[in-house]
Amino acid sequence: MRIIVAIKQVPETKSVKMDEKTGTVIREGVEAIINPLDLYAIETALRLREKHGGEVIGISMGPSKAITALREAIAMGFDSGILISDSAFAGSDTWATSYILAEAIKRIGDFSLVICGERATDGDTGQVGPGIASFLDLPVASYVSKIQIPNFKSQISDWGTTLRVERLIEDGYEALSCSLPCVITVVKEVSIPRLPTLRGKQRAKRTEIPVWGRDDLDVDLSKVGVNGSPTRVVKIFRPKVTRQCEKVLAKDDESIKEAVDKLAHLYLRLLCR
């Protein structure tokens, strides 16, 4: 069983900054981590491999420093990783990113399952997982909270195996069956991520991670990067919160009485609205 996990390196939540002119996330010089929601996809893949055997491959698209996210995934237990990085891919929106990742997955080939996190914390769209499925023409189950693969056969070429999942929906859960290969996105409820081990970190440091660019993938360059992305950020601005308040210091009996009177008047005004 070959499982491919798409992970993303994102800015630390407190360090997220936007370029107001281009409408893109500023990544250079910003502390970066594995997208927290991708950790659940990583753990899900590792548990499936432990139960059914096979291989787990991580893929990530981003600048050269995103290789650290793949090394961390290898330290957690991945067999290998592939970085997709090229200046032509910079500024790709979710549609273009899905297209590029799908082409990379096609090149890997012979996979049984593609797993993604529910969404990325820097974009918060949840579109890439379903987008990959669309470009690969595969079934997709999103917001998966539980997985079961009954009677899995070891032959990768046997696509008759059924994947059973439970999806988290607005009013409960939904049970689905999908034939493999397919794409799923998982929510936090699916697992509890493990930590990298010392032995895993040592192996990750020694592992060679290939970098694929435009010359390695069968991509149409008119469909990637900023120019190939249909999404257009028209304007970015910081909302201004305007609040008027009055601060009353209650230091003695007189000021306490004044503060109580003002609060009482404010309460009455609110009741009369």
Q: Are 138 and 58 in contact (CB under 8 A)?
A: no
Q: In sequence order, what are the beta bridge partners of 165? A: 147, 176
Dist. CA 220–CA 156, nearest whole Å: 29
Dist. CA 117–CA 37, nearest whole Å: 5
pLDDT at res. 265: 84
CATH entry, 2-223, from 3.40.50.620, 3.30.1330.10, 3.30.70.20, 2.40.33.10: 3.40.50.620
Vertex 135 angle, CA 134 and 138, to 5°: 55
Q: From the CB of residue 61, how many other CB atoms can be counted at a distance below 10 Å?
A: 24
Q: Rounded to whole angstroms, what are the CA distances from 11 to 28, 36, 69, 271?
A: 10, 11, 12, 45
Q: How many helices (H) and strands (E) does the chain have?
A: 6, 13
- The per-residue pLDDT string of the chain (273 residues; one tens digit each, 9 = 90 and over) reads 899 999 999 987 665 666 666 666 666 666 789 999 999 999 999 999 998 889 999 999 999 999 999 999 999 999 999 999 999 999 899 999 999 999 999 999 999 999 999 999 888 899 999 999 999 999 999 999 999 876 555 444 444 578 899 999 999 999 999 889 999 999 999 999 999 999 999 999 999 999 999 999 999 999 999 899 998 877 777 777 777 777 778 888 888 888 888 888 888 888 887
pLDDT at res. 258: 85
Q: Rounded to whole angstroms, what are the CA distances from 24 to 35, 77, 97, 235, 268?
A: 17, 32, 14, 11, 47
Strand intervals (E) in 121-242: 140-148, 162-169, 172-179, 182-186, 211-212
**Which residue reads 């070959």 in tokens?**
2
**Which residue reads 């970190």 in tokens?**
201
Q: How far is CA 186 from the centre of its chain?
A: 10
Residue 171, helix vs strand vs coil: coil
Instruction: Name the DSSP class of 136.
Output: H
pLDDT at res. 156: 43
Q: Which helix (H) or strand (E) holds 46?
A: helix 38-52
pLDDT at res. 155: 45
Q: CB-hemisphere CA count at 13 Å for 157?
A: 0
Q: CA torsion sign, 151 to 152 to 153 to 159?
A: positive
Give the burial string for 164-189 (b: 16+ CB within 10 Å, else e): ebbbbeeeeeeeeebebbbbbbbbee
Q: What is the largest CA-CA distance in the chain?
A: 84
Q: In sequence order, what are the beta bridge partners of 232? A: none
Q: From the CB of residue 148, how many other CB atoms can be counted at a distance below 10 Å?
A: 14
pLDDT at res. 19: 65
Tokens standing for residue 197: 């081990």
